[in-house]
Amino acid sequence: MAVGTQYLAEQPKLRTTSLVLGAVALAGLLAAPFFLYPEFLMSILCFALFACAFNLLIGYVGLLSFGHAAFFGGAAYYTAHAVKVWGWEPLTGILFGAAGAAAMGLIIGFIAIRRQGIYFAMITLALSQMFAFICLQVPFTHGEDGIQGVPRGHLLGIVDLSQPLAMYYVTLAIFLFGVFAIWRIVNSPFGNILKAIRENERRAVSLGYRVDRYKLGAFVMSAALAGLAGGTKAIVFQFATLTDVQWQMSGEVILMTLLGGIGTMIGPMVGAGLVIALQNYLASSQFPVTVLIGIIFVICVLLFRRGIVGEILELMKRKPKGTI
Amino acid sequence: MEFRGFVAVKDVTLSVNEGTIHALIGPNGAGKTTVFNLLTKFLTPTRGQISFRGNDITGLKPAEVARLGLVRSFQISAVFPHLSVLDNVRVALQRPKGLATQFWLPSSSLSSLDERALELIDAVNLSAYAHLNASELSYGRKRALEIATTLALDPAMLLLDEPMAGMGHEDIGRIADLIRRVAKNRTVLMVEHNLNVVADLCDRVTVLARGEILSDGSYVTVSADPRVREAYMGTEHE
């Protein structure tokens, strides 16, 4: 898998461009709920954050997790339970979900990190399937029904989240916080070591780095951020169900990230937006969504191996070289 | 430093004296790289003992051995290809300077390492390339970068696995000078096929063949040994 790529941040020319693009995107996100259905936008934001969290692991550490649904869906259950049954304030509930996902990340990561490549992917898949089974069996998740009717409540006891706009801006704030956290992790002293491990693990070991600890650290951070997305989704849609913990969800986040571009900051967001938009708009048509997404996926893998954003960045990088 | 008893290499009792340049030579498949892997714990010995500066290091993990100051290079050049030359050296400096686990700080906090990193890069004559990606360097310069990265740890002992492999003449001279310079207050154990380099650089030579020590001593002693001439030099050296 082409994981040995890194684009933004290192490219000073791209930095100004990305700042401008970022400002435009932020303005767009702030204005979006006046043009588009807020629930649809919030769904994209949650999945985009989920994909970015997943990308932290595959794009910057080179680890393909096939079990991220456990963190996303698990956090949704924790948040839903804390808010509905214990009557917690929604933000605390979301943070509780993220903390729960981080704890699961610590356990699953601790076991999986010892293996690489396909074995790592299989262990994460197996453990997340076990978790999905537990979710089906234990009483607090309500089995096939899931936890329904989670109240959105009042943020910090003040802001009424049953107002779609309020809920949207809170979701946007959580999304921006999550993306900033990922960006900070990637461009930090710690992130530098992660890149070194991805580039040449044996060399990193021979320089005295206990690489397993770095990988586990990244795994837990990725799980926590996936949990942040999952917990938020539970508040936004007011339910948590088995759909979010099953392996199809792990597959979907891989698809989103691959489509957008592994190892790029915005690729996973674009991929998530595309997949969710397609699912949304095709839901009412006769055309089967999965077939179309399958076709797009095949085209993408055959023609744009770096993903949509990855290819665009590659083009931008190539241009100035040609003119010199 | 000594160790003995392996599977691929057996009954190898090798001791390297502090402050010397020691060469490990022998035909292909003699077990030289295996010895390196055992010393740096990338392989675990079935039997035997390895000690470093009086401490038993047989049960340690690779990263722990590196932390003690026993740092290796690899046969195939070991750089971080998509990081810049400067970043390559900074990665090595980050751990000793305690700037490796902070995930909340911006990368710009690493600029405090730049001065030392550039010094090291200058020492291996790579200053002009500090901002290029390591993958863009020529083979010889990659090896030089690798040495700079290794030196960033200020190791007491360097293990160099074929530092001259695949190099042109000028590069060989440059790297040999560099090794001589850095060996002044360190111990160096190197695997090397280029016997001119070995004769020129090394204080002591151990010849390995089929996993066992064939001969041990100064280059003159070793090269005069008829068993060595037969097993190794007779076929490979001029």
Per the CB < 8 Å rule, is A205 touching B66?
A: yes
For B10-33, write each residue's pLDDT tens digit: 777 788 888 888 888 888 777 888
Confidence of residue A8 (pLDDT cuts 50, 70, 90): very low
Q: How buried is residue A202: exposed, middle or buried, by Cβ count under 10 Å (0-12/13-18/19+)? A: middle
* pLDDT value of residue B233: 52
The residue ranking higher by pLDDT, A52 or A7, is A52
Contacts A212 to B, Cβ<8 Å: none
Dihedral (CA of A10, A14, A17, A22) sign: negative
For chain A, the C-alpha Rg in angstroms (whole number) is: 19
pLDDT, chain B, mean: 81
Per the CB < 8 Å rule, is B94 touching A206?
A: no
* pLDDT value of residue B203: 86
pLDDT at A278 over 90: no
Q: What residue in A sits closest to B149 (Cα-Cα)?
A: A207
Per the CB < 8 Å rule, is B107 touching A203?
A: no
pLDDT at A78 over 90: yes
* pLDDT value of residue B234: 53
> What's the whole-number mean pLDDT along residues A46-65?
92
Contact assessment for residue A165 and residue A31, using Cβ atoms and an 8 Å cutoff: no
* pLDDT value of residue B112: 84
* pLDDT value of residue B167: 74
Contact assessment for residue A84 and residue A149, using Cβ atoms and an 8 Å cutoff: yes
* CB proximity B107 to A under 8 Å: yes
Domains and CATH numbers, chain B: 21-236 (3.40.50.300)
> Which of B66, B72, B105 lies at the smallest CB-CB distance from A188?
B105
Confidence of residue B238 (pLDDT cuts 50, 70, 90): very low
pLDDT, chain A, mean: 85
Dihedral (CA of A205, A211, A212, A213) sign: positive
Domains and CATH numbers, chain A: 12-29+37-323 (1.10.3470)
DSSP chain B: ------SSS-S------TT-EEEEE-STTSSHHHHHHHHTTSS--SS---EETTEE-TT--HHHHHHHTEEE--SS----TTSBHHHHHHHHHHTTTT-SS-SSS-GGGGGGGHHHHHHHHHHTT-GGGTTSBGGGS-HHHHHHHHHHHHHTT--SEEEEE-TTTT--HHHHHHHHHHHHHHGGGSEEEEE-S-HHHHHHH-SEEEEEETTEEEEEE-HHHHHH-HHHIIIIIHHH--
For A170-203, write each residue's pLDDT tens digit: 999 999 999 999 999 999 999 999 999 998 888 8
Using alpha carbons, select from A236, A231, A221 the residue that is nearest to residue A190: A221
* pLDDT value of residue B1: 44
pLDDT at B50 over 70: yes
pLDDT at A321 over 70: no
pLDDT at A100 over 90: yes
Confidence of residue A9 (pLDDT cuts 50, 70, 90): very low
Query: What's the Cα-to-Cα distance from A135 to each of A140, A143, A314, B165, B237, rounded to whole Å?
Result: 8, 7, 42, 57, 69
* pLDDT value of residue A1: 34
* pLDDT value of residue A196: 92
The residue ranking higher by pLDDT, A257 or B26, is A257
Q: How many CB atoms are closer than 10 A to CB A29?
A: 17
The residue ranking higher by pLDDT, A220 or B112, is A220
> What's the whole-number mean pLDDT along residues B194-208?
85
* CB proximity B76 to A under 8 Å: no
Query: What's the Cα-to-Cα distance from B26 to each of B32, B43, B125, B217, B230, rounded to whole Å?
Result: 7, 20, 31, 14, 12
The residue ranking higher by pLDDT, B232 or B63, is B63
> What's the whole-number mean pLDDT along residues A106-114?
92
pLDDT at B140 over 60: yes
Contacts A190 to B, Cβ<8 Å: 100-103
Q: What is the ipTM of this complex?
A: 0.78
Q: What residue in A sits closest to B41 (Cα-Cα)?
A: A206
Confidence of residue A217 (pLDDT cuts 50, 70, 90): very high
CB-based contacts of B86, cutoff 8 Å, min separation 6? B114, B117, B118, B121, B130, B131
Confidence of residue A7 (pLDDT cuts 50, 70, 90): very low
Confidence of residue A322 (pLDDT cuts 50, 70, 90): very low
Per the CB < 8 Å rule, is A189 touching B79?
A: no
> Which of B83, B101, B102 lies at the smallest CB-CB distance from A195?
B83
pLDDT at A288 over 60: yes
pLDDT at A101 over 90: yes
Q: How many CB atoms are closer than 10 A to CB B1?
A: 19
Interface test with A, best of B40, B41, B80 (most A CBs within 10 A): B80
For B91-124, write each residue's pLDDT tens digit: 999 888 777 888 888 888 888 888 888 888 888 8
Burial track B24-48 (b if 16+ CB lie within 10 A, e otherwise): bbbbeebbbbbbbbbbbbbbebeeb
Look up residue B15 and give its amino acid. S
Dihedral (CA of A219, A223, A224, A229) sign: positive
Best-predicted range by mean pLDDT (A43-47, A131-135, A291-295, B47-51): A43-47
pLDDT at A160 over 90: no
> Which of B74, B104, B109 lies at the smallest CB-CB distance from A202?
B74
* pLDDT value of residue A126: 92
pLDDT at A232 over 90: yes
Confidence of residue B237 (pLDDT cuts 50, 70, 90): very low
pLDDT at A75 over 90: yes
Q: What residue in B sits closest to A6 (Cα-Cα)?
A: B82
* pLDDT value of residue A323: 38
* CB proximity B217 to A under 8 Å: no
DSSP B1-28: ------SSS-S------TT-EEEEE-ST
Q: Name the A residues in 172-191 with CB < 8 Å from any B CB.
A: 184-185, 187-191
CB contacts < 8 A, A to B, total 105
* pLDDT value of residue B8: 62
Confidence of residue B197 (pLDDT cuts 50, 70, 90): confident
> Which of B62, B79, B107 lies at the smallest CB-CB distance from A189?
B107
Least trusted range by pLDDT, from A148-152, A261-265, A320-324: A320-324
* pLDDT value of residue A193: 93
Best-predicted range by mean pLDDT (A231-235, A320-324, B11-15, B198-202): A231-235
